[in-house]
Amino acid sequence: MLERYFVKYQTVDRVRASWLGAAIERYVEWLDREGYAARNVYRRVPLLCHFAQFAEERGAQTLEQAAALVETFATHLASRDGRRDAGSAAQRRRLAKEARGPVNQMLKLALPEHQGGGRHCKPEPFQVEAPGFFVYLREERGLKAASIYHYQHYLNRFAAFLGRNGVTSLSQISAATLAASVVDSAPALVPNGRRGLCATMKVLLRYCHRERILTQDLSAAVEMPQAFRLAELPRSIGWEDVRHMLEAVDRRSPLGRRDYAILLLLVTYGLRGHEVASLTLDDLDWPRDRLRVPERKAGHWTVYPLAGVVGEAILDYLKDGRPTTADRHLFLRAVAPRAPLGAGAISQTAAWYLRKAGITVRRAGAHTLRHTCVQRLVDAELSFKAIGDYVGHRSPSSTQVYAKVATEALREVAMGDGEAL
């Protein structure tokens, strides 16, 4: 595979002579298979050879030892051989990211357990004093990876506060420290985020007391912020805005065909972002015109009639937009690597087209279109039980909040003759 990209045999020989030569060549094969442009190979192979030399000079003899040097290498390369005054801080961060990405990709192919770095790989805090906490969350509490991610987010914030205030051990935590941490973090969090932070801290404190890391249970010292279940309006948009959003999609490109199908699924069936991301080719029953939605939040699955406009949009994407791959996921990245879209990408797609259409909405994303779907059903005067079944609510109480979606009628009640309405 290397000969396909490098004309000089001396270059190929130098790559294969590296102690990471086999891993580099396997990575080049993966880049080719995933549809990366040739320029990526030309740019990344010299970088990986540089990393191999860097790791060897620091005594690395195994892939595991090399993996531990990724951040050191990225920092070294970004600072231009160690000169800290080389470029601005933003430039160094960009260079470090460009160095870190290909190395982590190569190592993930060779070491399946290698997680790499990046924005979405948060460290697990308090591993020195409470090393079994995240094992407890995974195995005893049975939390999913998405929930673990939120625990990491909130506890990293808590650990950062402790570090800034000179608290070096969990045994030094007091009720006053806990209260100060919540007050410090509250302005940067939405109401649900504040509750998430407090709930996460409570779980950690109870675990530490159970494991005798703390002599007393301090979880009672963290007071949960008060919240009212029906305090906020759903963030829906009008049907005219939906039309403007769909018109903003350029369906001439493969990306536009994919995004158009995604938006139609979100607004037609009220699906969540992760439900669209988990759809596969096997969930489309073309002979019966049905769409099966597995892995719903409530733990069940739903079968919908496949609307004609939705089916046509999906067919348009499958014929002229979806990359050729063995992956059975319905929606894939439009650029290499040909990986399935995640829930975050689905939500970002919805937010992008809402902004492109000039539609202002609080916390734009996939749930905006889910709320819009429910609004349409409320306007059609369906019962809340029927609406809840349609959008996949486990409990009828989850649908009650949508009683406030009819804001125009509620406004008339508040300003006019409510009895007449």
92, 257, 272, 322: the active-site residue = 272
Catalytic site includes residue 393 = yes
Is 370 marked active-site?
yes
Looking at 44, 157, 296, 393, which residue is catalytic? 393
The secondary structure element, H or E, covering residue 241 is helix 239-247
Q: Tell me whether residue 385 is one of the annotated catalytic residues.
A: no
Helix (H, G, I), strand (E, B) or coil at 373: helix
Count CB-CB contacts under 10 A for residue 179. 13
- Is residue 367 among the annotated active site residues? yes
Answer positive or negative: Cα dihedral of 356, 357, 360, 361.
Answer: negative
Look at the block and give the residue holding tokens 């959008």.
391
Cβ atoms within 10 Å of 215's Cβ, excluding its own: 9
Question: Using an 8 Å Cβ cutoff, are 208 and 214 in contact?
Answer: yes
Q: Do 200 and 150 form a contact (C-beta atoms < 8 A)?
A: yes
The neighbour count for residue 236, using CB atoms within 10 Å, is 23
Per annotation, catalytic residue among 297, 363, 385, 411: 297
Q: C-alpha angle 33/38/41, rounded to 5°?
A: 80
Note if 297 is an active site residue: yes
Our answer to whether residue 394 is catalytic in this structure is no
**Cα–Cα distance for residue pair 421/419, rounded to 1 Å:** 5
Positions marked catalytic? 272, 297, 367, 370, 393, 402
